Structures are given as C-alpha cells and as structure tokens.
A = this chain, B = another copy of it.
Amino acid sequence: MKTSILLASIVATLSGNAPEPAADGKLRIICFGAHPDDCEIQVGGVAAMWAAKGHHVKLVSVTNGDIGHWREAGGPLARRRKAEAERADQILGVTCEVLDIHDGELLPTVENRRLITRLIREWKADIVMSPRPNDYHPDHRYTGVLVQDAAYMVTVPFFCPDVPYLKSNPVFLYYPDSFQKPNPFQPDVAVAIDSVIQKKLDALDGMESQFYEGGANGSAELVPNDPAKQQERHRQVRGFFEKRYQDQAQRFRSKLAEYYGHEKAGSIKYAEAFEICEYGRHPDQNELRKLFPFFGE
C-alpha cells in the first residue's frame, strides 16, 4: 500500500517504485570516478551503449587529476587531463565533467557531499555509479564515501534547497575491484561490451597522459621518440585494456549467464559489471533489465 510506504523514508526510498521515466523516455545515468579516467575505465563500454540508444550519460571526475603523472603536475596537468577526458567522452558519446579538486586530497566533507548531491539532482539521475569505499587509492575510497553520503540525501527536499530534489532515490551501483576485505565485490549485473570495445579502447588510448605515458607511476622510457616504438606503445595500451575486459568477462561469466543465458554468455568476450549499493534504491532483476536495456539484443 502506497501510503504506508511513505511512512518511513528508508522504506520509501530504498524499496520504492522506480521513478517516472523522463520526458523523453530516456534513462539518465551519472557516474563518478576519482580521477579523469576512472569512469572511462570502469563504465566506458556500457556508457557508450546507453549513449548509442539515446540515453543520457554523464561521467564526472571528482578530482582534477593534477598529480596523476610522473613528469607534469598542477594546473597544466589538470587542463591536459580534462581535455583528454572530454575527448574520450566525446568518443563514447557522453557528457564530461571534471571537478577542480586537488588529486590526492579529496575528503568526505559536507561541502563535497553537497557538490555530489547537486550533480546527481541536476542530472535527474536514474542510476548513479561510483567506486566502493574500499579501494587502493584514498581518492577512490572517499569518492565512494561521498557518493554513499549523497545517496538518500538527494531525495531530501531541504538538503541543498537550491536544487530540485529527486522524488525517487536512484539506483546506486559500484564498479568492480579486486579487494577482498572487509568484503569482496559481488556483481549484481554484468553486461557484454563486445559491440563497443573498439570505441572504448579508442577512448582510453587517447587518454595519453594516463595510459600511454603511464600516469603517476610511468617514466620517460614509456615515451619513445621512434614512431615505430610509439605505435608499439599504443598497441600495448590497447592490449592491456583488451585483456582487462576479457578477464572481467571471465570473472563475471556466471552473472552474464543470468542475464544473457548460458549459451550467449559463453561467447561474450568483453564485459563490465556492477554491484548494487544498499543505500540507493534496491532494484530487482526486472528493474535492472530496464535500466540496462541490452540483454535482449
């Protein structure tokens, strides 16, 4: 009964009905990563697939990535990485935003919570994505905490009263990682990205400061002058990521099978996967199939 659902906000917002579809009938997805490349790595495939169907996807880097390189740093690097993210997101067909917060210094303050809350609301998000709060980089962890801290608050009218609140708590999803403690990533949905793998590799290959040049842990030897070696280096980058999504297809094969059937799942080469965050709306598989409208293809 609907009224009793409204009694206690947690019930209303965690188990409630999905929101009315947007005016244009399209889904609205916003994804948070700590640095300008994290979203692209984690959800670049599905993002491109949503975009191709006309759904609205925004990738947000919560920091500006201004220490993410072995040779450059500060504002000039921040600008370079933003430009790379914009180029990559153009390839993927999605909207790009890079917040100007120092890389390596993100904290779960109330100011940042408001920032995230406003971005989710302004995007009128049906789906919100983020890293889990346990990951190897403090910015990843605190991005996870901040998005958790914005979950539910996006539905509270007088938190950030300057931005219209969401009537329905979005579905919040985590990206996969390999950490086991205190608990491992558990996929709730897995999606084949075979149809867009080249597009995703193009997007990532173009983020040169981070991948081709090796990012914070790179070095001069990664940046050859010889054009043949340069080409070889590009092939390495693409190969590295190609293998990563192959490994993910392997790792999440049984979850793929739930959505695609065993046979089809067996032939999937590249995959992305996501885990439901308990603090957003709790979708059942039925709703997930609507949010990820790719399984019947």
Question: Quick one: which of A73, A77, A222 has the most chain B CB within 10 A?
Answer: A73
Interface contact B74-A67, CB-CB below 8 Å:
yes
A74 touches which of B73, B149, B211, B214 (Cβ 8 Å) = B73
Which of A178-186, A189-197, A254-262 lines the interface with chain B?
A: A178-186
List of B residues within 8 angstroms of A10 by Cβ: 136-137
**How many monomers of this chain does the complex have?**
6
A114 contacts B by Cβ under 8 Å = yes
B155–A216 CB distance below 8 A: yes
Q: Which residues does chain B contribute within 8 Å of A1, judged by CB atoms?
A: 236
**Given A13-B217, A136-B14, A179-B278, A69-B158 contact (CB < 8 Å):** yes
Most buried by B among A10, A159, A160, A240: A159
Report, as a range, how many residues of chain A touch the other chain. 35 or more
Q: From the candidates B7, B67, B82, B211, name the one contacting A214 in the complex (CB within 8 A).
A: B7
CA distance A3 to B221 in the complex (A): 9
5 A–B contact pairs at CB < 8 A? A8-B240, A9-B214, A138-B152, A157-B216, A182-B183
Residues of A within 8 A of B (CB): 1, 3-4, 6-10, 12-14, 41, 64, 66-79, 82, 98, 100, 102, 104-105, 107, 109-111, 113-114, 136-138, 141, 148-149, 151-153, 155-163, 179-183, 211, 214-219, 222, 233, 236-237, 239-241, 244, 278-279
